Amino acid sequence: MTRLVAAHQALPVADRGGVCTRQVAAAEAQLLAAVSGASSSTWTTMQGTQAALGKAKDAMKNYDSALKNYNSSLIEYEKEATKLEALKAALDELTANCSIPTPPPTCADALLDLKTAIAKQTATCEIKWVPFCVYVHA
């Protein structure tokens, strides 16, 4: 603003009744209004950008947290699914061993115990699978 005033004061002496002075003053006012508007717009844009970046940072934190939960859930599911597969393999083996013409008297109870364990493990896998599906579809 000091430069504009200095330029305004350096006008030629023949001003013809202040016409040039008024034109320079009007131009100066327009320039100051434009600079003020640009400054205000820049400030508003910067604040909006900072807010958007803050939201993006929060979203990335939420994403990272969800990804960690997803990975943990998947690992837990894999552990439980491995246990289920081992129980099913044991059932297949026991079924084969008990399929002989005269099975041992403990076969019926052992088969029932394994089938019960498989049912419980299947339920456990389904519980572990639900969070896994939620993370995938969320």
Number of folded domains that form the chain: 1
Rounded to whole angstroms, what are the CA distances from 34 to 18, 21, 31, 39, 42? 24, 20, 5, 8, 12
How high does pLDDT run on average in the chain? 81
Q: What's the pLDDT tens digit per position in 30-68? A: 888 888 888 888 888 888 899 999 999 999 999 999 888
Rounded to whole angstroms, what are the CA distances from 39 to 4, 33, 63, 115? 18, 10, 36, 75
Domain that holds residue 111: 2-137
Asked which of 43-52, 114-123, 124-133 is least confident by mean pLDDT, the reply is 124-133
| Residue 99 backbone dihedrals phi, psi, to 5 degrees | -85, 5
